[in-house]
Amino acid sequence: MLICGLINSVVRKLLIRIAIVVPILVAMAALWIFDGRKLSLFLDRFGTIAMVSTPVGSISYEGDGKGGTLHVNDLDLSLNGPNPLGASPEVGTTKDGQVALSFRGKVFAFGPARSSENQTLAAGRPTPDMASISTRRNPISWPTPFEVNFMTGHSPSWKRYLYYHLTWKKPNGATLDMLWRYQQYFYPSDGWANGFLTDENTTGLIHVEISNAGR
């Protein structure tokens, strides 16, 4: 009798757990199919998957001072809004001729401005600086079974987010940390497409932090 009671107790607890877990799994599966973007954004808070990381060799800016495009190695990263930050950084030169980025009252100088073929503000990475640009992706892609492109008839079957992370540290402790998020589409006939697709208020520049920098 004692053994039967223990078995019944274990079975009862197992059934209770199943009754709790199964609806959660069903709800997450439905969310993944019908609104996978939100589920993906939620899971990204717990970590993303590294793809590639390279040292920054050069950086340049194209624009009128506010917003515009930051060219990091061979990546073109937009500083324009609207973005989740609700504001755009500004880029220009300091009094001592350095290319610098400012955001919400803080300034980070990349390095001395140098000539550029296309008349953009450009700077190399000073030797003592440590700077890298890395690409990461979210852990799960999401299906798009209901998406139809009536103009081309060519619709993606999957989507995912790509993250581009710029970190730059000076010997004096000044640091710059910037993060961009973009969408990437998957087409059955072509594979993963360009990793710089946008979606209003969820993509673009999502994080800027300048610390130990002069004002």
Assess whether pLDDT exceeds 70 at residue 200.
yes
Q: What's the pLDDT at 198?
A: 85
Q: What's the pLDDT at 36?
A: 74
User: Are 194 and 87 within 8 A, CB to CB?
Assistant: no
Q: What's the pLDDT at 212?
A: 78
Kindly indicate the confidence band of residue 47, based on its pLDDT and cuts at 50, 70 and 90.
very high
Assess whether pLDDT exceeds 70 at residue 4.
no
Assess whether pLDDT exceeds 80 at residue 103.
yes
Long-range CB contact pairs, 94-102, < 8 A, 24+: 98/123, 99/59, 99/60, 99/61, 99/123, 101/70, 101/176, 101/210
9-18, 57-66, 174-183: which has the highest mean pLDDT?
174-183
Residues 6+ apart with CB under 8 A from 60: 70, 71, 99, 116, 120, 121, 122, 123
Q: What's the pLDDT at 145?
A: 73
Kindly indicate the confidence band of residue 39, based on its pLDDT and cuts at 50, 70 and 90.
confident
